[in-house]
A and B are shown apart, each in its own frame.
Chain A
Amino acid sequence: ILNVEQSPQSLHVQEGDSTNFTCSFPSSNFYALHWYRWETAKSPEALFVMTLNGDEKKKGRISATLNTKEGYSYLYIKGSQPEDSATYLCAFRRVEQFYFGTGTSLTVIP
């Protein structure tokens, strides 16, 4: 079984705060790292696909970094808003197979 770990498991922040969470994955046989945003009762929404060590990607107030040598990725949210409340999933991809973490549940308090 391949372990993909996300921390923290859940997080409550005040509106306007910046926050970040971690995804840890095996550093061998890396193909890609995916981040998804999953709101309750909706489909997980693809945020980023990261493939190269040192990759940094940005989408509005959300950004992500990747370190394949040490096996981690950070997701940052700047100036959190209530609409950012969701579960953020990472998935380690080894060619065809995706291995998911359990997610970080973010609640932004107005």
Chain B
Amino acid sequence: GAVVSQHPSRVICKSGTSVKIECRSLDFQATTMFWYRQFPKQSLMLMATSNEGSKATYEQGVEKDKFLINHASLTLSTLTVTSAHPEDSSFYICSARDPQGTASSDTQYFGPGTRLTVL
């Protein structure tokens, strides 16, 4: 199946710094990637949809200036958490849709996630 990598897997940073997380589709081209966040004991919540070559679409309540998304190529999307604060500590996971699937049966392929801890 399709493989998505995510880097780093874990990051600890000081409050006020910015953190960049990379999401790569390794064996397919992804025109659309998704960024999710998961707080403890909660479900994966979609933050934004990242489209190659255009601006990301953010979900309601997600600050676009706080969570910068760049999808510069068909295999790479990045999420930058700017001026991170302790409340941004969470598990961030990306996914990519393989456009080879049919419209209704295609699925999302996930990276392994990034655990962000802001001190």
Q: Which residues of A are at the interface with B, using a C-beta cutoff of 8 A? A: 4, 31-32, 34, 36, 41-46, 49, 51, 89, 96-103
Contact = CB atoms under 8 A, between A and B. Distances in A.
Interface residues of B, number: 23
Interface string B57-98: 000000000000000000000000000000000000100000
Nearest to A35: B107
Given A49-B107, A100-B44, A43 B4 contact: yes
A32 B104 contact: yes
B105 A49 contact: yes
A97 B46 contact: yes
Interface in B1-48: 1, 4, 9, 34, 36, 41-46
Contact of B110 (A31, A44, A51): A44
B111 A51 contact: no
B43 A101 contact: yes
A34 B101 CA distance: 14
Contacts of A32: 104-105
A66 B43 CA distance: 21
A1 to B, nearest CB: 10
A45 to B, nearest CB: 8
Contacts of B46: 97-99
B113 to A, nearest CB: 8
Given A32-B104, A49-B107, A43 B112 contact: yes
B107 A46 contact: yes
Contacts of A42: 112
A62 to B, nearest CB: 15
A103 B33 CA distance: 22
A89 B21 CA distance: 24
Contacts of A34: 107-108
Contacts of A46: 1, 107-109
B36 to A, nearest CB: 8
B44 A51 contact: no
Contacts of B112: 41-43
Nearest to A52: B104
A51 B104 contact: yes
